[in-house]
A and B are shown apart, each in its own frame.
Chain A
Amino acid sequence: MTTQTARINIQRGAPGDPARIESYQVPYREGMSVLDALIWIRANRDASLAVRYSCTNANTCKECLVEVDGKAAYACTARLGRQPVTVAPLGNKKLIRDLVTDTAPPKETLRYALGEG
């Protein structure tokens, strides 16, 4: 039996870098989420990939908001399919790195605690 795979393209880079797309092939199982794929890539291909998430399965932490094929979506509820998907950071938020944007409430950051604004 051949293992099914899916392809996922990820926009990566730090602020100021030219954005680059990296493409990964991941083992596929029916119903798997974009977040499942990102976690698999971090564990098995490139641990330096930056993505914000916490609850993983429940869609209650609401931390994993990214753009999937150009639309804002939670990575945990967006699904992988036969067609490759492209994941990018939110376009309307300040980029931190890779898929992570500045989604923390402004008064809940170290910057604010230090009086750095």
Chain B
Amino acid sequence: MSHLSTDILVVGAGGAGMYAAIAAARGGARVVLADKSLIGRGGATVMAQMTVAVALGEQEPDHWTHHLADTLDAGRNLCNEELAAILCREAPERIREMDQWKVGWARADGHLTQAMAPGHKIRRCVYVDFLNTGPAVAKTLRSQVARHDAIVRVGGLSITDLVRDDGRVVGAVGIDMETGRSVTIAAKAVILAAGGLTRLYRRNSASANMGGAAFALALTAGAELIDMEFVQFFPIGHLAPRLVGMDPIMWDPFRYKLGGRLLNGRHEEFIHNYGASDSGTYTVSRDVASFAILSEVAAGRGSPAGGAYLSFEHIAEADLRAAFGPVIDRLLANGIDLTKRAIEVSPIAHYHMGGIRVNGEMATNVAGLYAAGEAVGGANGANRLSGNAISEAFVFGERAGRFTAAWAAGQTMRWDDDLARAGVAAIRAVEEGEVSAQTAGIGPIFGELQEMMWDKVGLLRDQAGLKSALARLRQMRELDLPALAPGRRDPFALAVQDWFDLRAGLIAAEAITLSALARQESRGAHQRDDFPASDPAWEVNQVVRLVNGVPTVERRAVVRGSFELAPLAAAQ
């Protein structure tokens, strides 16, 4: 066994985790920045292709209160308005800082280019060409992280359990992927920045890491999860033909830069049949677009692969090339000529609005436990505004690092190897379990989980489906999981990792399902067939916490603020 000691452990090295590490180091803390994958590679950030929403006023006059108004509108009256205001107010500072760090935001005519995106009333989304926002952001933050001697970067370190002493988080236990050895980490505080949970759904845009680990770690340590019923489905994820080496959500920027027509299996436009205007504007909100496509499929009007057509056949090749240059060649290499054929798209699980409940300092209700990025719930309410995810990663990451460092400065280290005994024993038990004859291990049951979440806890929900999913999830957690034995402490033992992924995924899935079952209305990303209307009585948040070890859902009043729209202003 190996041991590390630090002021602050940051779990997850995507945009939020790296920003948190930088801010914590600036605040005088020693930091261990850990990620299951390589540093800066494994999260959602590196996959983000476009649009970071920020009220800079570079393209046209804007003010953060207008960004906030659009964010609250998208959130369907459920946003934690304090968190949403922080996000919109501080985003300009972070985007400017990234600019100073030479991320390379697209510029034209002497100012940053800001594009329109769905749900925004003002052109405010910055990006890095061509479809390169995420990689550029990740590279820039990696460079900044490397400049701080106080940040120890540990890739390939999978955190499996948090360690607590008398209700306070004092460190963590994990596995070094390269050797398979167990690792304990003593820390005055832990920041969970390990992203979302979209890998729990069959169709998703997730990396291998987005299986809900942050939510499971937080809930198990005594923290509360909020808005877990709200999983955002990206309406036009790539479905067919197979597209390799590109992000499945790449069609969104194409669509609102150039206009792309959404057509059903009969090649007819249909979005207007679902109460939204889209033709010629391409700004229908994500939840309506997703619902409309799946409804067409359910009515037998889907495309051959089970989605909708997205057609750019009316756009001249020169215009496609001018807008997306080398991407057009990459598509041709995939056998896709946009001038000749419509591709097929489908909603895919894309982002989780829900997450760990925090206050404005990114502190959970558990002493020593903080969160940042997509792992945080509340700011986006029932539906996230396009472009807010990267802004949120920066803003919440920076705040988490800053406030955690300030808190940790007044704390003493409280570590005892005995406190970590249960976490270490859990790793041993998985490694030393008898390898069953069923060598496939966790794969089939994880596949079942993804199918079930897609079918019963996905875009279209009803009581019967949710109840049966909940029963099966509990059975998987209580009976199936303990019986699985992936075996052997090998170097790079993904089979051991699979077991911990499944354990975390089942906890996160249960939190979603419980919340979705309890919310008897439809709102934003949560659509109930049996309760199709929004109900003003449901303008409340739901929180999941462990009560005597059992996940339990409760209602909480929405955190409101009072904001007035300030005059629009151009950047100075």
Contact = CB atoms under 8 A, between A and B. Distances in A.
Q: Are both chains from one complex? A: yes
Interface of B: 2, 4, 32, 37-39, 41-42, 46-47, 134-135, 146, 152-157, 176, 178-179, 183, 205-209, 241-248, 334-335, 439-444, 446-447, 486-488, 490-495, 498
Contacts of A114: 2, 4
Contacts of B207: 54-56, 58, 61
A105 B32 contact: no
Nearest to A35: B244
Interface residues of A, number: 48
Contacts of A53: 208
A108 B38 contact: yes
Nearest to A76: B245
Contacts of B487: 48
Interface string A48-65: 111111111111111100
A63 B492 CA distance: 14
Contacts of A79: 244
A30 B242 contact: yes
Contacts of A63: 37-38, 41-42
Contacts of B183: 110
A47 B152 contact: no
B491 A50 contact: yes
Contact of B244 (A42, A77, A104): A77
Given A48-B488, A113-B32, 15 more contacts: A30-B241, A44-B440, A48-B495, A50-B494, A54-B37, A55-B41, A55-B207, A55-B208, A57-B243, A58-B245, A61-B38, A61-B46, A77-B244, A103-B38, A104-B155
A25 interface: no
A42 B46 contact: no
A71 interface: no
B443 A42 contact: yes
A109 B3 CA distance: 14
A43 B490 contact: no
Contacts of A97: 490-492
Nearest to B244: A33
A98 to B, nearest CB: 7
A52 to B, nearest CB: 7
A14 interface: yes
* A interface majority secondary structure: loop
B47 A58 contact: yes
B149 to A, nearest CB: 11
Given A60-B134, A110-B2, A43 B447 contact: yes
Contacts of A111: 178
Contacts of B241: 30-31
Given A56-B207, A60-B134, A109 B47 contact: no
Interface string A35-47: 0100000111111
A45 B439 CA distance: 7
A108 B493 CA distance: 19
A50 B244 contact: no
23 contacts: A32-B244, A33-B244, A36-B244, A43-B446, A44-B443, A47-B494, A48-B439, A48-B487, A48-B495, A50-B491, A55-B46, A57-B246, A57-B248, A58-B207, A58-B247, A59-B246, A61-B207, A74-B245, A76-B245, A77-B245, A97-B490, A104-B38, A110-B176
A102 B242 contact: no
Nearest to A49: B494
B492 A54 contact: no
A106 B357 CA distance: 36
A14 B440 contact: no
A9 B157 CA distance: 29
B335 A45 contact: no
B41 A109 contact: no
Query: 4 tightest A-B contacts by CB?
Result: A43-B443, A31-B242, A47-B441, A59-B245
